[in-house]
Amino acid sequence: MPKFAANLTLLFTELPLLERFDAAHRAGFRAVELLIPYDAPVDDLAHALRDTGLHLALINTPAPDWAAGQRGLAALPGQTAAFRDTFETALHYAAHLRPDHIHVMAGLAVGPEAHATYLQNLRWASQRAPDQSLLIEPINPHDMPGFFLNDFAQVAAILDEIAAPNLALQFDAYHAHRITGDMPGAWAKYGPRARHIQVASAEGRHEPNRGAIDYPAFFALLDAQGYTGHVAGEYVPSARTEDGLDWIKAGV
């Protein structure tokens, strides 16, 4: 089975953030991801990882005003200086937490100017941190209207244009289903570009153990293909997190 990770932004939210690390470890996870870690002191997060022995698979770049609807800065015209500041914050956290990947959040933007801004910022980021794996992710327009990246072909074209060895795809199976209606087909076409996977049920974005996406078949395919990255549960638990973890039991 793949190496599973727990998204501590969405899972174990019955507990304060720093207590979720131990809960994830006790539940059988050996890795975690954090969408927005910046509300917690980096030293506290580092201690939580060290105390539990958990590995950090992923963090996002900051979205400084998430509560007001901001979803990143990388594609926002006129915000290049602000994006670079937030990227430096991500690198500061990464220096202490050692995540495998940083997801560079594109933000809410459309049009040619946004495209040019995004390319400029991704080129700069990939050169600024050549030894850090950076990821970009298409997000479906139903859940996040206006997000700049909303199509896998769009992402593939951007990756080809920038051609940076440290820049790759973050493949979210839930978003793939919502964008294409054919998650296995999207994986067959774009999976070779992916370094990190996230999973949730197609219906309601809950536990990846039922519904339209056949996750046992997908996990078996990943094994057969020799995928070595993490598969993170990025979903909204339907009840207590601990009550819905059967989907990881065969892989821990």
pLDDT tens, residue by residue, 211-239: 999 999 999 999 999 999 999 999 999 99
Q: Which residues span the domain enclosing 117?
A: 3-251
pLDDT tens, residue by residue, 3-39: 999 999 999 999 999 999 999 999 999 999 999 999 9
What total number of domains does the chain contain? Answer: 1
| Per-residue model confidence (pLDDT) at position 249 | 75
Single out the catalytic residue among 14, 88, 113, 234: 234
Residue 203 annotated as catalytic: no
Residue 19 annotated as catalytic: no
> For residue 68, is pLDDT > 70?
no
pLDDT tens, residue by residue, 78-108: 999 999 999 999 999 999 999 999 999 999 9
Single out the catalytic residue among 33, 137, 203, 207: 137
Q: Residue 154 belongs to a domain with what CATH number? A: 3.20.20.150
In this prediction the pTM is 0.96
Six token digits for residue 11: 């899972």
The H-or-E segment that residue 62 falls in is none
- At 15, give phi and psi (nearest 5°): -120, 155
Return the higher-pLDDT residue of 210 and 57.
Answer: 57
